[in-house]
Amino acid sequence: MLFPRDVGVIRNTKGHQVQFQEDQREAFTQERQDRFLTLFSATSNIRYCSREIGIATSTIHHRRRHDPVFRAAFAAAQEQAVVSLRAEMVSRGLALLQAASPDEAADAALSGMDAKLILSLIEQYERSHGKEPGDIKPQKSDAGEATARLQALLIRMRLERQREMEERRKERAERKR
């Protein structure tokens, strides 16, 4: 049987059509890593860069967690990207201030990434700066603390329900008068 590619495996997908799948161990090659880091240093947008090179974002995050060399290169690219993003925000601000017409102002404000995305990427970088990939996601909370929060929520819900029922009773009483 002939397949469209030389490397890969056939996987059955629970009674569905059999699909050809590339061997994933070789998908994120050094060349692709370099392309990703170059793009990432210009944009600081993992999702966009991974889509451009054809790699899942989970692959990027996995490599970041398990490969110290890639993690260091990623951090350097991220710092460079944030500097570039800040410079872009300053440039756009100056272009808006110097715009002679509303059309020029609209072009300066809407070219490339919008300001909200740039500020979001900068904020995300600043929150996670100096933390390892495993430190960024929230950790499991204490069971006692979670129980106390749930109990407080239930009490608030019960009180709100009692208030609503009391208001309905008052409305019914007023209607009967």
List the chain domain ranges. Answer: 9-139, 140-177
Please report the pLDDT score of residue 66 as a whole number.
87
CA distance linking residue 125 with residue 130, whole number of Å: 9
pLDDT band at 2 (very low <50, low <70, confident <90, very high): very low
Tell me the pLDDT tens digit for each residue of 47-75. 888 999 988 888 888 888 888 999 899 98
Tell me the pLDDT tens digit for each residue of 29-39. 889 899 999 99
Secondary structure of the chain in the HEC alphabet?
CCCCCCCCEEECCCCCCCEEECCHHHCCCHHHHHHHHHHHHHHCCHHHHHHHHCCCHHHHHHHHHHCHHHHHHHHHHHHHHHHHHHHHHHHHHHHHHHCCCHHHHHHHHHCCCCHHHHHHHHHHHHHHCCCCHHHHCCCCCCHHHHHHHHHHHHHHHHHHHHHHHHHHHHHHHHHHC
Please report the pLDDT score of residue 96 as a whole number.
67
Tell me the pLDDT tens digit for each residue of 97-139. 676 666 666 665 545 566 667 777 777 777 776 666 555 555 5
